[in-house]
Amino acid sequence: MHFQDSLPKLPIPKLADSMRQFLYFAEPLVSPEELSAARDAAAAFESGVGPHLQQQLIAADSERYSSFISKPWFDLYLKDRASLLLGYNPQLTLRDEPPARGASQPARAARLVHSALTFLRTIEAGVLEPDVFHTNPRRSKHPLWPEVMRLLPRKVAFYGAAVTGAYPLDMSQYANLFRSTRVPHAERDELVTARGSRHIVVQRGGRFFSIDVMDAEGNTYTLPQLQGAMQAVIEAADAPKAGGEGGEGVGVLTTLPRDEWAALRGSLAEDERNARTLQAIDSAIFAVCLDASSPEEMGDINRCMLHGKGTDRWLDKSFQLIVTANAKAAINFEHAWGDGVAVLRFATEVVERSDSLPAVTAAGSAPLEELVWHLRPPGEAAVADAAKRFDATIASTDLSFFRTDCLSARFLKQHKLSPDGMMQMAFQLAHVRMHGHSVSTYESASTAAFKHGRTETIRSATPESAAFAAAFCDPSSSPSDREAAMRAAVKNHSRITRDALTGKGVDRHLFALRALALSEGGPLPTLFESNAYATLAKIIISTSTLQSDALSGGGFGPVNSDCYAVGYSMRDDECGAMVMSHHRDAAGFVGCIEEAMRDMRAAIKHSHRVTVANDLRHRFRSGLPRKPGRHAAQLADRPVVGVHGRGHELLDRQVSGNHGGGPPGDAWGRLLARACVQVRWR
């Protein structure tokens, strides 16, 4: 945490800039009449109450070393009365262990728990390596760099790092990673963090067990002991329960809307036995779910890790490690306390350390006890009702996914295109083809480069993306026109991404101004009541990506009934996405995304062929070499892609050429002729 005291503050954008951006992002989403009304509302806001609210925001921000968005953002999460199920708690699927390891459920759970505790101990010892974005690794990853940084006073350490091209990130969220729970209350929940607890809570078959994972001196129990404890939980939970208290499945209550859950939790806590169990769960270092299922297919894995059957989850915990019977694993985390950047670092280090731990034989067990619930008939009825509502919510969703090598990070970088921008444009084109219009789109950008930074919205739907989609939907547009529109949209997406990452976005600024206006108690300014603002606020395509070799996937649920939730990834050799919706034909949307990618690939390949063919023509007219050179060989050897939207794996074909025989230049002539068939000379 050496750099925490010198991180820069998140800048507050200028009011005029946010008004301009508001209108810019609204343009492709609303009618001309609605856009005109939005312009009038923005002008009235900028000349009326807007400057007053802006000055209030600046004054409040100047009083504390934090982010202007931090408090209202916590309030946004904690005051929301909606269920945490699907829309709030995402999951990150961890990569499988090496097949040779033959991992079992208790063995993998033990290794992950042991590795997570190692991460906790590095935090508590103050030796967790800082999160740093390196722009010049040759300087900032030099062995002496950490020593030099350590010598700098904490108040200026950030600036010393920046001189070397290294930019430290905010690490305040790690304080809520362990021993943390979102406790439901009427109107506003509370984030509660315990101190000094040494146990975790393990769930299986709707039952809860407390396992001590650290001894009185703070040392982690051995791997064989942890594995023995996991095996003991499985055996106890799977055996018929002989008498005693009931209460199986209480975890499903955490999927209810927050006010309902708060009232039920209060009723449960009236019984001293339940109060002790709730306290044990709240204070646990984290939760583990030993799921009895064995999912293999991507969609089944995502559903298991995102929601399971509801009874073996406690959505209020900061995070849950989920391990299935076939040793698949994931992290499901509550979102109010933190964002994906902190969880991704944690997941990456836990997986890497877990893979380095040896396979052991269970020996004994860490101390464990089953937690007791005592439910009266109203409580039993509440659990049964929550389970029915859970089932109905899950049944209301459809899920689809894809993986393809049609577009890959390596391929796109070779053609000087942003992989993320291309993925986002594929989503835009897919929606326009499926529904006929552009919609409000969310992509998460981290503002961890600033003190207490959270996220900003990258609004992928722009006038440039709309022009790109229109070009690809117009049968009369030429391949060159399509490619130009695509490159313009992707370049623009890189621009708005930079703005979001560097504190120049619009969403959080408008959100903070609206929160201030509400706090004054008067009527909301017309800007926030406009159709344009409402259209932007309702997210129809919600997207997020986290890239790490430690992950094999991830996903989250739709945030409203019209939303497509798209968790996507882009790797060197492939890309993929998991799409969930409330029966808005997720499979159809996935099909449109894949079609969009094939057409976009075709535009790239067409441009490449034009470039090569023009080079050949120049060589032909300037005097040909005796044998085909490098570019001719590339044209002969590289696959050629059609431009009509069919699968690239079917349309790629070899352009053959005679590299020998005949008079000098014949090979060039044949290759040039073949190129002329494939391209339109301009």
Give the mean pLDDT of 626-651: 36
Please calculate the CA angle 319-88-279 and round it to the nearest 5 degrees: 45
Give the mean pLDDT of 209-218: 95
pLDDT of residue 631 exceeding 50, the answer is no
pTM above 0.75, yes or no: yes
At 671, the pLDDT band (50, 70, 90 cuts) reads very low
At 616, the pLDDT band (50, 70, 90 cuts) reads low
pLDDT of residue 207: 95
pLDDT of residue 53: 97
CATH of 87-128+177-395, one of 3.40.50.720, 3.40.50.1820, 3.30.420.40, 3.30.559.70: 3.30.559.70
Range name among 95-109, 285-299, 666-680 with the lowest pLDDT average: 666-680
Q: Could you read off the pLDDT of 414-442 as tens digits, one per residue? A: 999 999 999 999 999 999 999 999 999 99
At 624, the pLDDT band (50, 70, 90 cuts) reads low
pLDDT of residue 363 exceeding 80, the answer is no
Tell me the C-alpha distance between 539 and 122, whole Å: 39
Give the mean pLDDT of 268-287: 97
Please calculate the CA angle 590-596-599 and round it to the nearest 5 degrees: 145
Q: Among the options 134, 335, 374, 659, which is catalytic? A: 335
Topology of the domain comprising 4-78+398-584: Chloramphenicol Acetyltransferase (3.30.559)
Q: Which residue, 433, 421, 412, is CA-closest to 608?
A: 412
Tell me the C-alpha distance between 603 and 264, whole Å: 57
Percent of the chain residues past pLDDT 90, beyond the cut: 83
Q: Where are the domains of the chain?
A: 4-78+398-584, 87-128+177-395, 132-168, 608-678
Q: Could you read off the pLDDT of 373-390 as tens digits, one per residue? A: 999 999 999 999 999 999
321: enclosing H helix or E strand: strand 319-323
pLDDT of residue 33 exceeding 90, the answer is yes
What's the whole-number average pLDDT of the chain? 89
Q: Could you read off the pLDDT of 453-486 as tens digits, one per residue? A: 999 999 999 999 999 999 999 999 999 999 999 9
Parallel/antiparallel/unpaired status of strands 564-570 and 541-544: parallel
Distance of CA 659 to the CA centre of its chain: 50
Q: Could you read off the pLDDT of 241-268 as tens digits, one per residue? A: 765 555 689 999 999 999 999 999 999 9
Tell me the C-alpha distance between 133 and 448, whole Å: 10
Q: Which residue has the tokens 């939970």?
A: 237
Give the mean pLDDT of 333-338: 95
Distance of CA 26 to the CA centre of its chain: 24
Asked whether 507 and 456 are in contact (CB, 8 A), the reply is: yes
Greatest distance between any 2 Cα atoms in the chain: 97
Parallel/antiparallel/unpaired status of strands 455-458 and 398-404: unpaired
pLDDT of residue 246: 55
CA distances from 152 to 66, 128, 166, 315 (A): 22, 18, 14, 41
pLDDT of residue 102: 74
- Report the b/e string of 96-129 with b at 16+ CB within 10 A: ebeeeeebbbbbbbbbbbbbbbebbeebeeeebe
pLDDT of residue 620: 58
Query: Who contacts 518 (Cβ-Cβ below 8 Å, separation ≥6)?
Result: 524
CATH of 132-168, one of 3.40.50.720, 3.30.300.30, 3.30.70.1020, 1.20.1280.180: 1.20.1280.180
pLDDT of residue 625: 53
Tell me the C-alpha distance between 85 and 8, whole Å: 35
Q: Could you read off the pLDDT of 550-568 as tens digits, one per residue? A: 999 999 999 999 999 999 9
Dihedral over alpha carbons 52, 58, 63, 64 (to 10 degrees) = 140
- Phi, psi angle pair for 212, to nearest 5°: -70, 125
Phi/psi class of residue 545: alpha, beta or left (left: φ > 0; alpha: ψ in -120 to 50)?
Answer: beta
Give the mean pLDDT of 165-178: 95
Asked whether 458 and 436 are in contact (CB, 8 A), the reply is: no
pLDDT of residue 131: 93
Tell me the C-alpha distance between 149 and 147, whole Å: 5
Query: Who contacts 442 (Cβ-Cβ below 8 Å, separation ≥6)?
Result: 457, 458, 459, 539, 541, 542, 543
Parallel/antiparallel/unpaired status of strands 132-134 and 368-370: unpaired
Parallel/antiparallel/unpaired status of strands 199-204 and 207-212: antiparallel
pLDDT of residue 366: 84
Tell me whether residue 335 is one of the annotated catalytic residues: yes
pLDDT of residue 114: 98
CATH topology agreement for domains 87-128+177-395 and 132-168? no
Range name among 103-117, 271-285, 635-649 with the lowest pLDDT average: 635-649
Q: Which three-class secondary structure string do you get for 447-493? A: CCCCCCCCEEEECCCCHHHHHHHHHHHCCCCCHHHHHHHHHHHHHHH
Who has greater pLDDT, 323 or 665? Answer: 323
Question: What is the DSSP annotation of 108-143?
Answer: HHHHHHHHHHHHHHHHHTT-PPPPEEES-HHHHTST
At 452, the pLDDT band (50, 70, 90 cuts) reads very high
pLDDT of residue 215 exceeding 80, the answer is yes
Q: Exposed, middle or buried, 515 (CB in 10 Å: 0-12/13-18/19+)?
A: middle
Taking the CB of residue 263, how many other CB atoms lie within 10 A of it?
15
